[in-house]
């Protein structure tokens, strides 16, 4: 699957039962993320899913996000190849933030997309 063929979903179309998988690095996650999202940095996805998948399972509707959508498109393509029901969040966390959707941060800082 080519990255341009990866299915996407907009922030407005995000189903309430979706498992949101954030594949950004730790510093990006700490700066601001969606409350309730699952955080697995991109390079750790294959290993983590093999021993501690949590809610990221092949039968869950997984929506993958990163800052803009490039890394998450690659992870989405990999997940789909593995049999997961996964789509990429169009525009990533920047689109989430632009839509005025809530975020949380680690500590007392105001959340932002890093």
Segment 70-114, tens digit of pLDDT: 999 999 999 999 999 999 999 999 999 999 999 999 988 899 999
The reported pTM is 0.95
Establish if 108 belongs to a structural domain. no
Contacts of 2 (CB under 8 A, 6+ apart): 77
Establish if 38 belongs to a structural domain. yes
Q: Which of 14, 21, 23, 66 is catalytic?
A: 66
Establish if 79 belongs to a structural domain. yes
Answer yes or no: is pLDDT of 3 > 80. Answer: no
Question: How high is the pLDDT of residue 5?
Answer: 85
**Number of domains, the chain:** 1
Establish if 14 belongs to a structural domain. yes
Residue ranges making up the domain that contains 67: 3-98
Contacts of 90 (CB under 8 A, 6+ apart): 8, 9, 10, 11, 69
Question: How high is the pLDDT of residue 53?
Answer: 84
Is position 30 annotated as part of the catalytic site?
Answer: no
Answer yes or no: is pLDDT of 35 > 90. Answer: yes
Residue identified by tokens 């955080």 is 39
**Is residue 11 within 8 Å of 91, Cβ to Cβ?**
yes
What single DSSP character describes residue 5? G
Establish if 71 belongs to a structural domain. yes
CATH number at residue 84: 3.40.250.10
Q: Please write the tens of the pLDDT for every residue from 50-66.
A: 998 899 999 999 999 99
């Amino acid at each position: 699957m080519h990255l341009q063929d990866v299915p996407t979903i907009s922030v407005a179309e995000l189903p309430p039962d979706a498992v949101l998988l954030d594949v950004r690095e730790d510093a990006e996650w700490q700066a601001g993320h969606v409350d309730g999202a699952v955080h697995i940095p991109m390079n750790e996805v294959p290993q983590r899913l093999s021993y501690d998948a949590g809610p990221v399972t092949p039968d869950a509707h997984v929506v993958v996000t990163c800052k803009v959508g490039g890394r998450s498109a690659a992870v989405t393509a990999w997940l789909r190849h593995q049999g997961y029901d996964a789509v990429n969040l169009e525009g990533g966390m920047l689109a989430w933030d632009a839509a005025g959707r809530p975020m949380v941060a680690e500590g007392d800082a105001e959340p932002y997309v890093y």
